[in-house]
Structure 1
Amino acid sequence: MQNILQHFQLGELNSGVSTGNSWLHSNGEKIVSSSPVDGKVIGTVQAADRAAYDAAISSAQKAYPIWKAIPAPRRGEIVRQIGEGLRKNKEALGKLVSYEMGKSLQEGYGEVQEMIDICDFAVGLSRQLHGLTMHSERPGHRMYEQYHPLGIVGIISAFNFPVAVWSWNSMLAWVCGDVCVWKPSEKTPLTAIACQRITAEVFAANDVPEGVSCLVIGNRDAGEWMAADERVPLVSATGSTRMGKSVAAVVAGRLGKSLLELGGNNAIIITENADLDMSLIGAVFGAVGTAGQRCTTTRRLIIHESVYDAFKDKLVSAYKQLRIGDPLDQHNHVGPLIDQDAVKAYLASIEAVKAEGGKFVVEGGVLSGAGYESGCYVKPCIAEVENHYKIVQHETFAPILYLIKYSTLDQAIALQNGVPQGLSSAIMTLNLREAEQFLSNAGSDCGIANVNIGTSGAEIGGAFGGEKETGGGRESGSDAWKAYMRRQTNTINYSTKLPLAQGIKFDF
């Protein structure tokens, strides 16, 4: 790991504020990054104070007119080069993600690959920032609409995907002509600094001014500054529903725009017509991948009564085979939770399940002993519950899987939809009618609805996000790029007269 830290120029004390290749002085508090893998301190970051934050925003303001004047395909070419930089650094960055966050090495590599993929998507997008033309009711007139960049895009990202979600936002924002100020999770600051160094090198090689890519590492106050900052027209925030509600209220109070990707409480419906072996793979990976710390983690299995016992037995058998340990060891399936606070939330949730009457069929607990010195390793567990339990309605960022029995598909869909969140959902069935009902407007109310795949592992080509308390935002693919731009309707009169719309007469 020491070689990787040296590779990204990560010393014992690192500046947490950057406008590109420049790293700014700050008197903010020191943030210590400790790995949940072994509990060791990786490095320390000097967080942003208000003066350093304002300096970064000022740099972004100065860079914006220059950046937006560069033709979009040229901006796309620069993003392509960032993708190449990520390809060259995939192994080192993937290992750093795995070590600082605690996800498996394969997932660390996968997260960097996701960044590379969004770069490729953004390159193509840079030549497709299209508008529309429409016919005018007035003779000799032409109407069309086009999109322009917004300005500064503030990005607040979470620890569980410490770099990928930033790239979803920044790569699209950059090809759209925006500049970005990134406030990463204070729990994973070093991966953010590594990404900043990769992008800054590419921007400098292309004579891009400082300020197009800014990094502001800080605690909650840095996010609050950004949310309230009228210089930041769009704030994209990923995290808990509680955090998102706070950001949304502050941004709306100044009539700014917010793009929210918040909590999930995702379910897989397993029907009597499901391929149970295939369903098992989707359910187990969805429930224990990233130690249950994905917003798309499978938290509930809604299982038809006719296959309930058989599938429960398969789950119990599969959980006995899970290997928990160092995520950099690719033989292990499950790594640690992010920190001790997450462990406390996991234990509290287990007690809440028991208090409400839930029955555990696979018991949980904290692991100790050799290899578990950080105290962040926990056992994935399974409980039989009722959907209305208060704890089941809540998103717990931990590997706790809830089993719920159903008898009719209408009932299953109602259970699936019967939570405050609406991010990801899935149905396992070989019956066409069941699949189509699930995808119809009488089916899943989530932003993502899958058939015969699990709830996690979204591809960048589709718009990512959800409804209800998930926030309603969309990131990554499809037409998510429109969130980073302002729409403008244009009417051109090429006639010799000035007729008014709606046939209004105004003669004098």
Structure 2
Amino acid sequence: MPIATVNPANGETLKTYEALSPEEIERRLALAARAFDSYRTTTFFDRARLLQRAADLLEADAPDIARVMTTEMGKPVAAARAEALKCVKTMRWYAEHAARLLADEHPAESDVKDSGAARAHVRYRPLGPVLAVMPWNFPLWQVVRFAAPALMAGNVGLLKHASNVPQTALYLEDLFRRAGYPEGCFQTLLIGSGAVEGILRDERVVAATLTGSEPAGRSVASIAGDEVKKTVLELGGSDPYVVLPSADVAKAAKTAVTARVQNNGQSCIAAKRFIVHESVFEEFREAFVAGMRELRVGDPLDEDTDVGPLSSEQGRSDLEELVDDAVESGATVLCGGQRPKDLADRGWFYEPTVIADVTPEMRIHLEETFGPVATLYRVADLDEAIAVANDTPFGLSSNLWTGDEGEIERFARDSQAGGVFVNGMTASHPALPFGGAKRSGYGRELSDHGIKEFCNITTVWIGA
């Protein structure tokens, strides 16, 4: 696969890059190892100062890097700016809180004595160079939510970014360099997927994190498992969005539109399957379909655009196949379902789409729709809603709309997902753990859970 910026709004190739040679990869791995040997001994104060500086630079750069992201993968430019500022917030959060999150932990005095120790504590120490294999859909955010905690913990990062966002990938390396990080603390590796195995098997690379497709996750996990190296995986989702009779249906329908088409529908945590109680189904359907129809599809650099193009021609073709299969099997298209006529000769656009009468035999019922396509289900009660919500191989997040505390408790207990969001759409925040269950992966990012994923949790026992 070429390493190039191809504008998905018009198919124009803007920049191309040569992949790193084996010799350059070796040089960078050696550099990462040397950088870790010294960086691991820095103080939290020093690390925080560097990360705060990186945050300041990114905040100033936000308008420019937003346009780069938009031209590389097609997200509306306003959303791209918001992504950059979310990264700034997360950097500052970890700079402020990392020392507390990784402070030594002291067991109860009675337990220390029972162990035969005079003193004992738990210390969090960095692991070393960590390989991050990242996707194109949130080209800044996916990287920063790994890099900020990893760097604050004292690790160093090696980024293998998606091949269609090379400019963003190189920007990230330059950002940390300009912030004053020692050489080698964060490096971008412009490489194809075929080079990942050799890097992951290198003894200097101690762990890996991947956000991406299930096949990519399986590959990285199997290699890392063979090498007995730690991994964290986030592999996508097909998140349910359940609406029950006691909900504010108008608000639920309005939020549903945003929840489905955020990032042009190309978000792992976007709501994709809308499961609605029969008593409010028609009210929700009418409002939801109307909201999807009103969205403006067009040039992602236009501030008024709601939905830009899919990131690639293949991505649009994959989405079309799912929709076509559903229609051929008896599903009903309530809106959309095709390429916008006024943009037919430009880029990789697809209309915001709602599909009803979906059955378990259809591919769209089980496969992730990575684009602005929603499936709509009618259910009789909470039991059926939970059954449909869990009828997926994925388990990243879930949404519930209700005014009933009992229903909230029941859904939180029985939802097979890493997150349960009630009366609001799924979102990530640095203070809250993020990750999934089932084939959505394992491990957690963000919060104290995320920063500890790539730490050596060390018991220090001192005898009398």
Instruction: State the TM-score, normalizing by the size of structure 1.
Output: 0.87
Aligned to 1:474: 444
- Percent of pairs identical after alignment? 27
2:74 maps to which of 87, 95, 102: 102
Shift of 1:311: 1.2
Aligned to 1:113: 85
Aligned to 2:151: 174
In 1, Cα distance between the equivalents of 2:303 and 2:117?
67
Q: Quick check: 1:39–1:373 contact (8 Å CA) kept in 2?
A: no
- Residue 415 of structure 2 aligns to a residue whose secondary structure is coil
In 1, Cα distance between the equivalents of 2:166 and 2:451?
26
What pairs up with 1:215-294 in 2 under 5 angstroms? 215-294=188-267
* Gap regions ≥5 residues in structure 1: 1-28, 495-508
Aligned to 1:307: 280
Q: Quick check: 1:114–1:164 contact (8 Å CA) kept in 2?
A: yes
In 2, Cα distance between the equivalents of 1:232 and 1:59?
12
Aligned to 2:327: 354
Shift of 1:132: 1.9
In 2, Cα distance between the equivalents of 1:93 and 1:346?
28
Aligned to 1:13: none
Q: Quick check: 2:254–2:287 contact (8 Å CA) kept in 1?
A: no
In 1, Cα distance between the equivalents of 2:436 and 2:124?
24
In 1, Cα distance between the equivalents of 2:43 and 2:127?
16
Q: Which has the larger radius of gyration?
A: 1
Aligned to 2:417: 446
- Residue 441 of structure 2 aligns to a residue whose secondary structure is coil
What amino acid is the match of 2:442? G
In 2, Cα distance between the equivalents of 1:139 and 1:320?
69
> 1:297-324 deviations in whole A, cap 9, x for unaligned?
1110000011112211112211221110
Establish whether residue 51 from structure 1 lines up as the match of residue 51 from structure 2.
no
In 2, Cα distance between the equivalents of 1:163 and 1:241?
21
* Gap regions ≥5 residues in structure 2: none
Structure having the larger proportion of residues in helix: 2
In 2, Cα distance between the equivalents of 1:482 and 1:404?
39
Shift of 1:386: 2.5
1:157 maps to which of 134, 144, 149: 134
> 1:393-433 deviations in whole A, cap 9, x for unaligned?
11121111111111111221121111110001110111222
Query: Aligned residues, how many?
Result: 458
2:455 maps to which of 469, 473, 485: 485
> 1:106-162 deviations in whole A, cap 9, x for unaligned?
210111012101111111233211232223215562221111100001111101011
Classify 1:104/1:58 alpha carbon distance in 2 versus 1 (closer, same or farther; 3 Å). same
Q: Quick check: 2:293–2:336 contact (8 Å CA) kept in 1?
A: no
Classify 1:372/1:290 alpha carbon distance in 2 versus 1 (closer, same or farther; 3 Å). farther
In 1, Cα distance between the equivalents of 2:391 and 2:340?
33
What amino acid is the match of 1:449? V
Instruction: State the TM-score, normalizing by the size of structure 2.
Output: 0.95
Establish whether residue 407 from structure 1 lines up as the match of residue 380 from structure 2.
yes
> 1:247-276 deviations in whole A, cap 9, x for unaligned?
111101110011101110101000011111
In 2, Cα distance between the equivalents of 1:84 and 1:284?
33
Shift of 1:209: 3.0
Q: Quick check: 2:269–2:396 contact (8 Å CA) kept in 1?
A: yes
In 2, Cα distance between the equivalents of 1:473 and 1:110?
26
Classify 1:138/1:473 alpha carbon distance in 2 versus 1 (closer, same or farther; 3 Å). closer
In 1, Cα distance between the equivalents of 2:134 and 2:117?
49
Shift of 1:367: 2.6
Classify 1:178/1:216 alpha carbon distance in 2 versus 1 (closer, same or farther; 3 Å). same
Establish whether residue 377 from structure 1 lines up as the match of residue 354 from structure 2.
no
In 2, Cα distance between the equivalents of 1:352 and 1:236?
34
Classify 1:460/1:387 alpha carbon distance in 2 versus 1 (closer, same or farther; 3 Å). farther
In 2, Cα distance between the equivalents of 1:38 and 1:476?
35
In 2, Cα distance between the equivalents of 1:266 and 1:387?
16
Q: Quick check: 1:233–1:257 contact (8 Å CA) kept in 2?
A: yes
- Residue 357 of structure 1 aligns to a residue whose secondary structure is coil
Shift of 1:348: 0.7
Aligned to 2:161: 184
In 2, Cα distance between the equivalents of 1:445 and 1:459?
21
Aligned to 1:498: none
What is the RMSD of the two structures over their aligned residues, measured on CA atoms?
A: 1.6
Classify 1:437/1:64 alpha carbon distance in 2 versus 1 (closer, same or farther; 3 Å). same
Shift of 1:459: 2.0
Aligned to 1:145: 122
Classify 1:469/1:139 alpha carbon distance in 2 versus 1 (closer, same or farther; 3 Å). closer
